[in-house]
């Protein structure tokens, strides 16, 4: 080949954009000039954005935040807007990937900034969990504390958790109570002690974990409501103590003053016992009863017809009153009305003869009764169906009477946790106090105690001992001091030396152990974790990995699902919402509990079996019991226990269609596509919509009414450009879920209008079913992965995220993607990330936030 | 069980955690000897999401027996009711900060300052008028102040973005950065007033001494700790030490007085399920707190700003806040009015009890000053001026009731607070954005 061809080849190759310097000038700027300058130029500066100022690579470097936004809008398909001809996909792709790699390059060049967390006091959930893990007491002292303030969607944000004197008072009282509960023998029982739970809403089954400090004989009364749906049918009460196979007792149907109940006598040892009870209709007995009444009715009908034929009916009184078991007159008896007829002794014989009653029955009533008596016979199947539709009875109150003949009480199990010296009560010495308090303080303060601190703690016990208290009693004061100290109440991270805003250091071993345990367990480090911190081994990656795996398998990791999950998915709000009982009569306490349990088990399953996080969006399975399955219209699920349920063939998929989530994103009386769209944007995409502008102009009232579907009414959102910028994103998502009513049940009609759940994302991709919506949201796995990473980070760190956290987030999301999106990978990567492992000095100025859009959730 | 001695002649009506406070028998009055004049109490009763003003505002001038619908339940007490119109809370408006009217309305209501627009870390408002009073005269009572609410602010999520939920859930601020969070559980309030009731007096005295030692030590320890922390963390620790110091003072006060406070009501079981019961119970606790002089300053947040509560007991299954954006729909306006009226009825029952509680030469109502109102007038357009302001009570003879006075519009609400502070014995030159005082409280007009 001669040089001419070579030169041509080289020349051609040099022109190829994929060879050589792909720069801002060659790739991005021409694209932007062609497709964006029309609006985003110096004069018009649409949306406040002027892109003309970025002409060279240098100027690009200073506009990081702007270009992050550009990237987001480009990839989401929002920009260029639909009115402009769409650029070819490969050019968009080229620009996007250049921007992404450039950002990554910039991030690597910048020194790591892990941020800092403000000292965090334990919130209520953490206080309860910590006290439980520390001492094993079985009451929740923090339930009395004022509610924690939350921010960025979580209630463990250091800056926002404040400490008022009211709360301090509670801490002191709680410390005293906890110390007493852990150490004291229970007080003398007042005989007989009566304890009760009353006015229970339907729960299925009722379960009460109650502490019985005294061993002895107890009598427990389980009562059901007197009337259920205006009837008191025969039924059965099941009672199970401590998970034993249940005993059954028949439910009385006699009229009594105190309602219907069953007293169960038993002997219980001291300690915690579980009382479980539930009640069901005795369908067989009801059927037998009703069938007999039905046969009766047929007989009387036959007799009446005969009598009428023979002309021997002497109305009105010839009405044998076929009564109910309770003796009330039954309106099924009927006869022709005749106000003047006198009683005929012969016809009034079915009530046991004797003097016939004279009753004057108005003609309409008599006619009605006759019609009822002669109504067509009901088949057994029909009757069974009617019975099956009746409401089940439920346990309405439980009373515990006792102990009778109590045995002398022994110390609670928690005693040994405090007195590690191992001595029995009354045999302690001063040396014991030293040993016991040292160990308790080490565990409670999550680090070894200094000599000075220990001396002080011991001195409190000494002070009490000098006042005449035994060493046991005196130790309580030491325990109180431990629990009231800021070392217990706050998770503090020391800043040695003078503050240097640029100093970046690893958090200390014990500080890291605390971060780990409060992240995954919402509670204190256990002995193994503390031990490793003491040996300095937590800084080794292999050890750290192993610990995270162990902690995720530990039952305490359930708290991650409850605490983090309940807030991320907002199902914690289920405790407080009240759907309108007229519109949604099937909503009950039992259904509320079932909804919470479904989401909890679903998340728990993903965590424990280490599924891909995409299951949150695309899983075609869930967990349900009979009550929930009935709401979902899924057949074949009976009984109260939860089990995995296949969703194939149903319109449901992942968390988006779980009843709990659908309910917390609705109003009490109706669904709200805006609320649901907002929920998705906030919690799945971490792209919360900006707040509505001030002075939102009112919708034209005449256009809004009951003559249009919700969708039509909300078209106004999109018609007005001021509203459309946000609502074009939110509304379609919510409308995609309109087939689920405000408590998550499937429907095809909204009043008299069929539901239209079609929609499109701003990128143009369209969907017609909720499943398709979920698939679309899951398509760009990166979005959801990044969202979940950010949410977990906020929870793990206890602070909001800033621009300087972006590199860490991106890295974590990438690693998760590389490992099949498994949940455990995300946890591991978060734990190993700089923001979790390290800490920066304080900024010179008071804590400022980077100049990003201040959204409570994310980095836009 | 309740600590202290039971009055054997006591009869108590017991519902679901509800009980009625009995009038305090003269022989039991622990607080005021015959020679001392009863002090003036201050209560702020806050209702959220605005009020339908056309049903609230009476004619200017003397109040007749025929009052507008929402105000009607107060008719028996109209001689001690002073309605003021023309007041505004300027800092509830956006002033360039965009949306978030509910958060601003609540946060600025008792402070009168610019509310810092933030979703979390760096909250900033001002000190609320009740806390200003508490810091001055709170030392004279066991509890400097009492903050109560009937709505649990525990909903997860954002409340009134971009503002933090802390702003919507609190009206009382002890410092520009620390709210004085209200208590929602009546049982907890009872225990604050009368103790947990699970100790005999000797044990309680013993443990008070232990607690004092412990608290002395943690204060000392905190000083040492602070040297190892950066300044933001030190500020957090400051909250702790401030709280500890206040508790220490309370313990000392309790030891000095050594008063065995006899509660005049049964301890509630918890937070009632029914809203009516809950509100009534909170009012009962306020009554008892004032009667026993446990405190003289209180705030009651009937609902948090932006409240989504439904009022099924008066057959309104819809959520409160969305309804207040009625856009002129008469059905919705009527429903909102019914909620306003419901709040007023329950309030009037409380005022009735205050009027029937004898104290000194008159009744407790004579020595109380209540501000009934909220940070919004018309909830539909988030109106922060022409606010509903109703003063109830004699304020120890310093407020002339029985009339509706129109003040020059707009007058800062904080002017009213300066006047109120004066009446509880706290002299303030200025509070927040106040420009003077409200002389109309006592002057004939």
CB contact (8 A) between residue A480 and residue B211 = yes
Residues of B in contact with A480 (CB under 8 A): 210-211, 214
Model pLDDT for residues A491-540, shown as the tens digit of each residue: 999 877 677 878 888 999 999 999 999 999 999 999 999 999 999 999 99
Closest partner CB to A153 (pick from B156, B231, B240): B156
Read off the pLDDT band of B404 (50, 70, 90): very high
Q: Does the structure show a pLDDT above 70 at B16?
A: no
- Residue A393: per-residue pLDDT: 80
Per-residue pLDDT of A650-673, as tens digits, reads: 999 999 999 999 999 998 888 888
Residue A859 has pLDDT above 60, yes or no: no
Q: What is the pLDDT of residue A79?
A: 77
Does the pLDDT value for residue B251 go beyond 50? yes
Percent with pLDDT over 90 in chain A: 33
CB–CB contact A484 B165 (8 Å): no
The verdict on A846 touching B (C-beta cutoff 8 Å) is: yes
Q: How confident is the model at residue B11 (pLDDT cuts 50, 70, 90)?
A: very low
The reported pLDDT for the residue numbered A481 is 96
The size of the A-B interface in CB pairs under 8 A is 239
* B41 DSSP β-pair partners: B368
Q: What's residue B285's pLDDT?
A: 93
Indicate whether B100 pLDDT > 60: yes
Query: Which A residues 91-130 touch B at CB under 8 Å?
Result: 116, 118-119, 121
Q: Which is higher by pLDDT, A283 or A715?
A: A283
The pLDDT of B415-427, averaged and rounded, is 92
Give the pLDDT score at B322: 85
Helix, strand, or coil (residue A843): coil
What is the C-alpha to C-alpha distance for residues B130 and B429, in angstroms, rounded to an integer?
16
Q: In this structure, what token pair is assigned to residue A266? A: 């038993």
Q: Please, which pLDDT band fits residue A331 given cuts at 50, 70 and 90?
A: very low
Q: Is B166 within 8 Å of A160 when comparing Cβ atoms?
A: yes
Would you tell me which residues 491-550 of chain A have a C-beta closer than 8 angstroms to some C-beta of chain B? 492-496, 499
Strands B368-373 and B389-392: antiparallel
Contact B156 A460 (CB under 8 A): no
Instruction: Tell if the CB–CB gap between A164 and B179 is shorter than 8 Å.
Output: yes
Minimum-distance CB partner of B120 among A573, A694, A800: A800
* pLDDT one-digit tens code per residue, A547-597: 999 999 999 999 999 999 999 999 998 888 888 888 888 888 788 889 999
Mark yes or no for CB contact B229/A486 under 8 Å: no
Closest by Cα among B303, B359, B388, B314 to B24: B359
- Amino acid B5: pLDDT: 28
Nearest in space to B366 (alpha carbons), one of B375, B357, B379? B357
Task: Kindly report, residue by residue over A161-174, the tens digit of the pLDDT.
Answer: 989 888 999 999 99
Question: Please, are residues B368 and B424 in contact by the beta-carbon 8 Å criterion?
Answer: no
Nearest CA distance, A852 vs chain B (angstrom): 13
* More confident of the two residues A719 and A859: A719
ipTM of the complex: 0.77
Q: How confident is the model at residue B409 (pLDDT cuts 50, 70, 90)?
A: confident
Residue A858: pLDDT above 50? Answer: no
Rounded to whole angstroms, how far apart are CA atoms A334 and A365? Answer: 8
Q: What is the pLDDT of residue A354?
A: 40
Distance between CA A496 and CA B339 in Å, rounded?
57
* Residue A193: strand pairing partners: A402
Give the closest-approach CA distance of B35 to chain A in angstroms. 33
pLDDT score of B13: 27
Q: In the predicted model, is pLDDT for residue A93 greater than 90?
A: no
Inter-chain contact A163–B243, Cβ cutoff 8 Å?
yes
Nearest to A31 by CA among A70, A72, A78: A70
Mean pLDDT across chain A, nearest whole number?
A: 81
Residue B416: pLDDT band (50, 70, 90) is very high
- pLDDT band for position B432 (cuts 50, 70, 90): very high
Instruction: Band the pLDDT of A40: cuts 50, 70, 90.
Output: confident
Report percent pLDDT > 70 for chain A. Answer: 83
Q: pLDDT tens digits for A163-213?
A: 988 899 999 999 999 998 888 877 666 656 677 766 565 556 677 878 787
Beta strands in A620-690 (DSSP E): 621-624, 643-646
Report pLDDT digits (tens) over A518-527. Answer: 999 999 999 9
Neighbours of A438 (CB within 10 A): 18
What is the reported pLDDT for A357?
55
Q: Report CB contact under 8 Å: B222, A567.
A: no
Give tens-digit pLDDT for A12-22: 554 544 444 56
Q: Which residue of B has its CA nearest to A485?
A: B218
Whether omega before A205 lies within 30 degrees of 0, making that bond cis, reads yes
Q: What pLDDT digit, counting tens, does each position of B161-190 carry?
A: 778 888 888 999 999 988 888 888 888 888
Q: What is the pLDDT of residue A851?
A: 31
Q: Which of these ranges, A259-268, A713-722, A764-773, B398-407, has the smallest mean pLDDT?
A: A713-722
pLDDT mean over B258-274: 68
What are A780-839's pLDDT values in tens digits? 888 899 999 999 999 999 999 988 898 899 999 999 999 999 999 999 999 999 999 999
Evaluate if residue A460 carries a pLDDT over 90: yes
The C-alpha of B61 sits at a distance from chain A's nearest C-alpha, in angstroms, of: 34
Q: What is the pTM of this model?
A: 0.77
Tell me the pLDDT band of A355, cut-offs 50, 70 and 90.
Answer: very low
**b/e for A585-621, b at 16 or more Cβ within 10 A?**
eebbebbbbbbbbbbbbbbbbbbeeebbbbbbbbbeb
List B391's β-bridge partners, or say none.
B82, B371
Name the residue with higher pLDDT: B414 or A391. Answer: B414
Confidence bin at A350 (pLDDT 50/70/90): very low
Put simply, whether A140 touches B (Cβ < 8 Å) is: no
A660 in reach of chain B (CB within 8 A):
no
> Which of the residue ranges A71-80, A653-662, B364-373 would you say has the lowest mean pLDDT?
A71-80
Chain A residues with beta carbon closer than 8 angstroms to that of B317:
580-583, 668-669
Within 582-611 of A, beta carbons closer than 8 Å to B belong to: 582-583
């Amino acid at each position: 080949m001669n040089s001419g061809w070579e030169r041509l080849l080289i020349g051609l190759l040099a022109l190829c954009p994929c060879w050589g310097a792909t720069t801002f000038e060659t790739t991005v700027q021409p694209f932007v000039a062609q497709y964006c300058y029309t609006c985003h130029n110096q004069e018009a500066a649409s949306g406040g954005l002027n892109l003309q100022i970025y002409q060279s690579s240098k100027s690009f470097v200073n506009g990081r935040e702007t270009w992050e936004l550009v990237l987001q809008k480009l990839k989401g398909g929002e920009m260029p807007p639909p009115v402009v001809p769409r650029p070819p996909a490969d050019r968009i792709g080229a620009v996007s990937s250049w921007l992404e790699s450039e950002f990554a390059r910039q991030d690597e060049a910048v020194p790591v900034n892990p941020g800092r967390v403000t000292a965090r006091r334990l919130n209520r959930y953490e206080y309860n969990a910590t006290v439980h893990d520390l001492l094993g007491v079985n009451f929740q002292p923090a339930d009395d504390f004022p509610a924690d303030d939350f921010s960025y969607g979580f209630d463990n944000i250091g800056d926002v958790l404040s400490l008022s004197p009211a709360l301090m008072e509670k801490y002191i009282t709680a410390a005293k109570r906890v110390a007493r509960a852990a150490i004291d023998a229970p007080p003398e029982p007042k005989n007989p002690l009566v304890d009760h739970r009353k006015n229970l809403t339907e729960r299925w089954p009722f379960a009460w974990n109650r502490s019985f400090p005294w061993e002895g004989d107890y009598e427990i009364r389980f009562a059901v409501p007197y009337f259920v749906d205006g009837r008191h049918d025969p039924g059965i009460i099941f009672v199970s103590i401590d998970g034993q196979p249940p005993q059954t007792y028949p439910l009385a149907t006699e009229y009594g003053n105190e309602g219907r109940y069953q007293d169960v006598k038993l002997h219980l040892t001291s300690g915690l016992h579980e009382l479980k009870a539930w009640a069901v209709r005795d369908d067989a007995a009801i059927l037998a009863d009703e069938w007999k009444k039905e046969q009766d009715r047929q007989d009387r009908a036959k007799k009446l017809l005969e009598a009428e034929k023979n002309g021997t009916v002497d109305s009105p009184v010839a009405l044998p009153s076929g009564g109910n078991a309770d003796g009330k007159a039954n309106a099924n008896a009927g006869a022709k009305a005749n106000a003047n007829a006198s009683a005929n002794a012969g016809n009034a014989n079915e009530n046991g003869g004797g003097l016939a009653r004279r009753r004057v029955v108005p003609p309409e009533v008599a006619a009605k009764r006759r019609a009822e008596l002669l109504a067509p016979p009901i088949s057994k199947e029909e009757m069974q169906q009617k019975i099956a539709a009746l409401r089940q009875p439920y346990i309405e109150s439980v009373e515990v009477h006792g102990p009778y003949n109590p045995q002398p009480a022994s110390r609670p199990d928690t005693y040994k946790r405090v007195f590690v010296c191992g001595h029995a009560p009354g045999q302690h010495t001063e040396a014991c106090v030293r040993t016991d308090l040292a160990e308790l303080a080490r565990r409670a303060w999550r680090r070894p105690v200094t000599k000075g601190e220990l001396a002080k703690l011991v001195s409190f016990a000494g002070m009490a001992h000098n006042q005449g208290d035994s060493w046991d009693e005196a130790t309580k004061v030491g325990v109180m001091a431990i629990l009231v100290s800021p070392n217990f109440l706050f998770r503090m991270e020391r800043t040695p030396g003078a503050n240097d805003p640029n100093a970046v250091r690893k958090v200390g071993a014990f500080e890291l152990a605390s971060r780990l345990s409060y992240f995954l367990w919402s509670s204190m480090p256990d002995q193994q974790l503390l031990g490793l911190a003491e040996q300095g081994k937590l800084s080794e990656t292999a050890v750290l990995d192993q610990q995270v795996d162990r902690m995720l398998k530990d039952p305490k990791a359930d708290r991650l699902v409850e605490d983090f999950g309940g807030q991320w998915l907002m199902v914690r709000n289920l405790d407080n919402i009240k759907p309108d009982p007229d519109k949604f009569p099937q909503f009950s306490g039992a259904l509320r509990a079932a909804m919470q349990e479904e989401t909890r088990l679903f998340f728990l399953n993903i965590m424990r079996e280490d599924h891909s996080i995409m299951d949150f969006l695309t899983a075609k399975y869930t967990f349900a019991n009979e009550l929930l399955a009935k709401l979902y219209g899924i057949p074949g699920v009976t009984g109260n226990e939860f089990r995995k349920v296949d969703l194939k063939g149903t319109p449901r998929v992942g968390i988006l269609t779980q009843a709990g989530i659908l309910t917390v994103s609705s109003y009490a009386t109706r669904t709200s596509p805006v609320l649901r769209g907002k929920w998705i944007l906030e919690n799945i995409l971490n792209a919360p919509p900006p707040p509505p502008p001030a002075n939102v102009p009112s919708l034209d009232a005449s256009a809004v009414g009951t003559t249009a579907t919700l969708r039509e009414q909300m078209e106004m959102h999109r018609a007005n450009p001021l509203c459309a910028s946000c609502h074009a994103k939110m509304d379609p998502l919510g409308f995609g879920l309109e087939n689920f009513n405000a408590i998550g049940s499937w429907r095809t009609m909204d009043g008299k209008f069929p539901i239209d759940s079609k929609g499109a994302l701003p990128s143009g991709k369209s969907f017609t079913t909720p499943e398709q919506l979920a698939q679309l949201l899951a398509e760009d796995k990166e979005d959801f992965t990044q969202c979940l990473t950010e949410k977990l980070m906020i929870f793990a760190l206890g602070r909001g995220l800033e621009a300087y956290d972006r590199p860490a987030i991106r890295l974590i999301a990438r690693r998760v993607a590389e490992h099949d999106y498994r949940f455990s990978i995300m946890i591991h990567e978060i734990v190993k990330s700089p923001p979790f492992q390290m800490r920066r000095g304080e900024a010179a100025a008071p804590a400022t936030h980077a100049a990003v859009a201040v959204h409570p959730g994310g980095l836009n | 069980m309740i600590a202290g001695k039971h009055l054997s002649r006591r009869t108590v009506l017991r519902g679901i955690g509800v009980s009625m406070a009995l009038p305090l028998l003269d022989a039991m009055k622990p607080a005021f000897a015959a020679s001392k004049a009863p002090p003036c109490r201050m209560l702020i009763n806050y209702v959220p999401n605005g009020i339908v003003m056309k049903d609230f505002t009476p004619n200017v001038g003397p109040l007749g027996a025929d009052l507008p619908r929402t105000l009607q339940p107060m008719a028996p007490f109209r001689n001690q009711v002073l309605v003021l119109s023309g007041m505004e809370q300027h800092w509830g408006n956006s002033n360039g900060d965009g949306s978030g009217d509910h958060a601003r309305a609540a946060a600025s209501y008792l402070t009168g300052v610019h509310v810092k627009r933030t979703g979390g870390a760096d909250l900033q408002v001002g000190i609320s008028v009740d806390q200003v009073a508490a810091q001055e005269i709170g030392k004279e009572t066991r509890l400097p102040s009492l903050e109560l609410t009937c709505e649990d602010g525990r909903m997860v999520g954002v409340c009134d973005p971009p503002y933090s939920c802390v702003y919507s859930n609190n009206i009382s601020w002890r410092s520009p950065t620390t709210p004085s969070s209200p208590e929602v559980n009546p049982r907890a309030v009872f225990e604050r007033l009368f103790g947990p009731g699970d100790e005999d007096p000797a044990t309680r005295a013993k443990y008070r001494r232990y607690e004092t030692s412990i608290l002395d030590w943690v204060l000392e320890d905190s000083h040492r700790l602070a040297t190892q922390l950066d300044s933001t963390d030190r500020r957090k620790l400051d909250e702790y030490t401030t709280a500890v110091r206040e508790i220490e003072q309370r313990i000392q006060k309790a030891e000095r007085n050594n008063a065995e406070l006899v509660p005049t009501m049964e301890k509630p079981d918890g937070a009632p399920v029914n809203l009516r019961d809950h509100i009534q119970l909170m009012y009962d606790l306020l009554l008892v707190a004032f009667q026993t002089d446990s405190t003289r300053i209180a705030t009651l947040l009937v609902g948090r700003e932006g409240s989504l509560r439904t009022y099924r007991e008066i057959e309104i299954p819809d959520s409160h806040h969305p309804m207040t954006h009625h856009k002129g729909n008469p059905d919705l306006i009527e429903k909102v009015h019914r909620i306003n009226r419901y709040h007023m009825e329950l309030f009037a029952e409380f005022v009735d009890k205050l009027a029937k509680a004898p104290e000194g030469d008159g009744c407790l109502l004579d020595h109380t000053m209540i501000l009934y109102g909220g940070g919004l007038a018309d909830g539909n357009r988030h109106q922060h001026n022409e606010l509903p302001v109703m003063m109830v009570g004699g304020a120890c003879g310093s407020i002339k009731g029985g009339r509706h006075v129109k003040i020059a519009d707009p007058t800062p609400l904080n002017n009213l607070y300066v006047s109120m502070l004066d009446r509880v014995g706290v002299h303030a030159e200025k509070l927040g954005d106040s420009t003077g005082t409200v002389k109309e409280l006592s002057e004939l007009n």
